[in-house]
Amino acid sequence: MKVLNFNSTRLRNAEYISLCNDVLKQVKTYDWETANVLNLLTWVKDSTSELKNRVNKMGTVNETLEVKQADDRFNDAWRAIKAVTKAHRLSPLEAERDSAAVMSELINSYGDNLHIESYEVQNATAKLFLKACNKPEIKAAVENLKIQSFVGNIEAALNQLVAAIDRRKAKSVGELKENETREIRNRLHANLNKMFRYMEVMSDVAPGGPLDNMINEINLSIQKIETAIKKRRHTSQELEETEMT
Q: How far is CA 30 from the centre of its chain?
A: 31
Q: What is the mean pLDDT of residues 50-73?
A: 79
Residues 213-240: tens digit of each pLDDT: 999 999 999 998 888 787 767 665 655 5
pLDDT at 222: 93
Q: Whole-structure pTM over 0.75, yes or no?
A: no
Taking every pair of Cα atoms in the chain, the longest distance, rounded to a whole number of angstroms, is 76
Q: Compute the C-alpha angle 233/187/49, nearest 5°.
A: 80
Q: Tell me how far apart the alpha carbons of residues 48 and 20 are, in angstroms, rounded to a whole number.
A: 7
Q: How do residues 163-205 score in pLDDT, each as one tens digit?
A: 998 887 776 555 556 678 889 999 999 999 999 999 999 999 9
Q: What is the pLDDT of residues 195-213, one digit of tens each?
A: 999 999 999 998 888 899 9
The yes-or-no verdict on residue 91 having pLDDT over 80 is yes
Task: In whole angstroms, give the CA distance from residue 3 to residue 221.
Answer: 11
